[in-house]
Amino acid sequence: MNFNARYIIIVLFVIVSLHYILSFSHEPYGRATSLSNIKSKILPQKSSSPSTPSSDSLENFPAHTPVYNETLSIDRRANATFVILARNTDIQGTVKSIREMEDRFNRRYRYPYVILNEVPFSEEFKSRISVLTSAKIEFGVIPKEHWFQPDTIDEAKAKAGRDKMVEKNIIYGGSVSYRNMCRFNSGFFFRHPLMEKYRWYWRIEPDVHFHCDILYDPFVFMEEKKKVYSFTITMYEYEATIPTLWGHVMDFAKLHPEFIAKDNSLGFMSTDNGHTYNLCHFWSNFEIADMEFWRGPAYTAFFEYLDKQGGFYYERWGDAPVHSIAAALFVPRDQIQFFDDIGYEHNPYTHCPKGKGAWERGKCSCDPLKSFDYDGYSCMSKWDRFIETT
């Protein structure tokens, strides 16, 4: 065979080879070229029929929703969920919070979300949220009896209390809806039908920030270490919003000494064995906790006792002091967890890990020097002293 003939055969071979390769990689517009696309041409594929998500459960997502291979290595999860209380107008803040939680933690674990509202969520809200995660999302409406001011409240007395707070420029002093929210978070969120199947919850607010990668499962940590309640920020309560709360707490404690834990945290909140309250509480917009505690006999009796006093409406009792006081009195101190390594921000306060090692491991975006922990309004130094001396 002469040189020209061999040259023509080589050229033809190259052209045929290029055509064969391009036949694999030439896909319709918008589809990425990948090894999986090539495999799909060679290996037989299982057929599947798409399912449409229901209006209340978005467990089944469109094909473009990412599926993270990291989850294949997670062999244990707790019976847990995130819970978010939001309104339709909170859509942008809710998107930000979930996106950060997914990026920092949940893309590897895919814990479900329960999102609650006093009215049905709009289709726009649900569609905007549903594309953020491959985890299950359920949208729920709060029962009216769990949200609105009960008929047992003397509205004239409640209004007089609100007006007095407005005169003093107390934040949310005139808001009934804020009081509804505090009462709901104190005594009802864990009773919602969508929450009943779970034991553990992580409370997330719209427009909060998670500043560090969370490289382990806090739910499993809480379960294995037999923790009940956890926090990242602790501070003083606004005394004008709870003038009679501590008196009612002590009255309840006298009525039910059987509920007081032997190694409790009363010393964190009072230096005179409960005679006075120093106003310290755990900031409840971040909570990871065991709902068996809230559903148990001690807290159930405690909340019902407080609810009968009417202070959620006659004053402005918040769920933060109510939860905190209950955990301090009814839970052994070693079952309350401070998560130093979880960087968290709810404007205007930020917790940033103190230890350089935790800050570096978590690839934290917060500034440790601007952490709220030892601000003058923080109770963290009191918690440190309490733990060190007990």
Numbers of helices and strands, H then E, in the chain: 16, 12
70 is known as an active-site residue: no
Three-state DSSP string of 183-224: HHHHHCHHHCCCCCCCCEEEEECCCCEECCCCCCCHHHHHHH
Residue 53 DSSP label: P
User: Within a 13 Å sphere around the CA of 103, how many CA atoms are in the beta-carbon half?
Assistant: 13
For residue 138, the cross-strand partners are 57, 114
Residue 145 has phi, psi (to 5 degrees) of -70, -15
Amino acid identity, position 215: L
Residue 98 has phi, psi (to 5 degrees) of -65, -40
- H helices of the chain, in order, are 3-25, 35-42, 91-101, 123-130, 144-147, 155-167, 176-187, 218-224, 245-255, 266-269, 291-295, 297-309, 311-314, 319-330, 356-361, 380-388
Residue among 102, 138, 237, 287 flagged as catalytic:
287
Distance CA 190, CA 96 (A): 24
- Catalytic positions, written as ranges: 287
